[in-house]
Amino acid sequence: MNFDLTEDRQMLADTLNRYLADQYGIEARNASAYEAPFHDPTKWAEMSELGIAGALVPEEQGGFGGTGFDITVVFEALGKGLCPEPFLGTLMAARLLGAAGADMDALVSGETRYAVGLGEIDAAYDFENIATTATASGEAHVLNGRKSAVYGGQGADVILVLAKLGDAPAIFSVAATEANIVGYGMIDGGGAAEVLLEDTPATLLLQDAGGAVQDAVNAGRLALCAEAVGAMGATYEALVDYLKTRKQFGRPIGTFQVLQHRTVDLLTEIEQARSITISAAASLEDADATLKIAMAKNLIGRAARLVAEEAIQMHGGIAMTWEYSVSHYGKRLVMLDAQLGDTDQCLSEVMQSYAA
């Protein structure tokens, strides 16, 4: 089987990697990732001009990608560059808008920034048992409830909200100006928000949206897997470089056999993570996508934590400093697991699937 990227995807990867290396170094990244609005609007506009959002949308809906492999190409590069720009919300919104048959020109151009509100305090990953409700108000609807950890919500123009309409899940579009949004920075950089809805006007986009929500979650999980692969690869490269240059007892510590063995073990974990991400990407449109992507996120959640911990330990104290990139990669790798279902949640879903 040929695992090489197509010419178009390789061009996209090269363009994005080059941009992030030139324009989004670790100092520039940290300056924007940890201070409101927790990303750089200028960089967002520039990356949108490069076509990053368009790569997440199928051609028939106004983009030029949208497949599992297009998603992995984009997010692996974002992970390698430790980029805090909120493209996860763009991706998940594109899946929901696509299912609703809505126009996506503003999303593709980057003119409108989207976020997706699914989880709640008492239903972080259980999107079926949500408390947010929708009520008809004339020809429109109003929403009541609270959405937690809405990634990119602190800077979004539009938030797509999952709410119960009667007994069925539905997706509504809410203008950010209509909701009470409390934004905050995440520990690993980037931003999120609590979205408080009190008789908030909303536009119904999609009824009986359970299948579309699961598809958006699958795409989001796949993106996080690819981001973790990119971040693990960058962490590994930094570790190998450090082992070659750091000397102890008159020679590079990379010549010590025990560190060589540990480093090879990490490379094995990274390649396993890459392989299962490829498998998950290939299955995105298949009937068993939910199962395969849950498997991938479970494995990658465990591998990412191992890579972060081992890289920091083999570096020593320098890896705990703010100025050194490995400390920030380590935080991101650990926190990626918590987004859209951690290892325990994904393992539970896999077990339930086989028990069914």
* Predicted confidence (pLDDT) per residue in 58-113, tens digit: 999 999 999 999 999 999 999 999 999 999 999 999 999 999 999 999 999 999 99
Predicted confidence at residue 3, as pLDDT, reads: 62
**Does residue 1 or residue 3 have the better pLDDT?**
3
The residue written with tokens 């279902």 in the block is: 341
Indicate the residue type of 213.
Answer: V
Q: What is the mean pLDDT of residues 299-311?
A: 96
Instruction: Give yes or no: residues 124 and 240 share one domain.
Output: no
Instruction: Give yes or no: residues 125 and 86 share one domain.
Output: no
User: Mind listing the pLDDT tens digit for each residue in 250-278?
Assistant: 888 777 888 899 999 999 999 999 999 99
φ and ψ at residue 140, rounded to 5 degrees: -110, -170
User: Mind listing the pLDDT tens digit for each residue in 129-159?
Assistant: 899 999 987 778 999 999 999 999 999 999 9
- Give the domain extent around 134: 115-209
Domain limit, last residue, from 112, 132, 165? 112
Which positions ≥6 away from 308 have C-beta within 8 Å? 235, 329, 330, 331, 333, 334
Q: Is pLDDT above 90 for 4?
A: no
Q: Read off the tokens for 334.
A: 């650990």
CA 221 to CA 236: how far, in whole Å?
A: 22
Predicted confidence at residue 142, as pLDDT, reads: 96
Tell me the pLDDT band of 1, cut-offs 50, 70 and 90. Answer: low
pTM over cut 0.85: yes
Instruction: Give yes or no: residues 227 and 350 share one domain.
Output: yes
Q: Is pLDDT above 80 for 47?
A: yes
Instruction: Work out how many domains the chain is built from and give that number.
Output: 3
Give the CATH number, domain containing residue 187.
2.40.110.10
Instruction: Give yes or no: residues 104 and 144 share one domain.
Output: no
Predicted confidence at residue 127, as pLDDT, reads: 85
Domain limit, last residue, from 209, 237, 269? 209
Instruction: Give yes or no: residues 278 and 182 share one domain.
Output: no
Share of the chain above pLDDT 90, in %: 84
Label residue 146 left, alpha or beta by phi (over 0 means left) and psi (-120 to 50 means alpha).
beta
Q: Is pLDDT above 90 for 7?
A: no
User: Mind listing the pLDDT tens digit for each residue in 215-240?
Assistant: 999 999 999 999 999 999 999 999 99
Domain limit, last residue, from 174, 190, 209? 209
- Is 1 a member of any domain? no
CA 144 to CA 134: how far, in whole Å?
A: 7
Give the CATH number, domain containing residue 108.
1.10.540.10
SS3 string, the chain, reads CCCCCCHHHHHHHHHHHHHHHHHCCHHHHHHHHCCCCCCCHHHHHHHHHCCCCHHHCCHHHCCCCCCHHHHHHHHHHHHHCCCCCCHHHHHHHHHHHHHHCCCCHHHHHCCCCEEEECCECCECCCCCCCCCEEEEECCEEEEEEEEEEEECHHHCCEEEEEEEECCEEEEEEEEHHHCEEEEEECCCCCEEEEEEEEEEEEEEEECCCHHHHHHHHHHHHHHHHHHHHHHHHHHHHHHHHHHHHCEECCEEHHHCHHHHHHHHHHHHHHHHHHHHHHHHHHCCCCCCHHHHHHHHHHHHHHHHHHHHHHHHHHHCHHHHCCCCHHHHHHHHHHHHCCCCCCHHHHHHHHHHHHHC
Q: At what angle do helices 210-245 and 325-336 cross, to 10 degrees?
A: 150
User: Mind listing the pLDDT tens digit for each residue in 174-230?
Assistant: 999 999 999 999 999 999 999 999 999 999 999 999 999 999 999 999 999 999 999
- Is 47 a member of any domain? yes
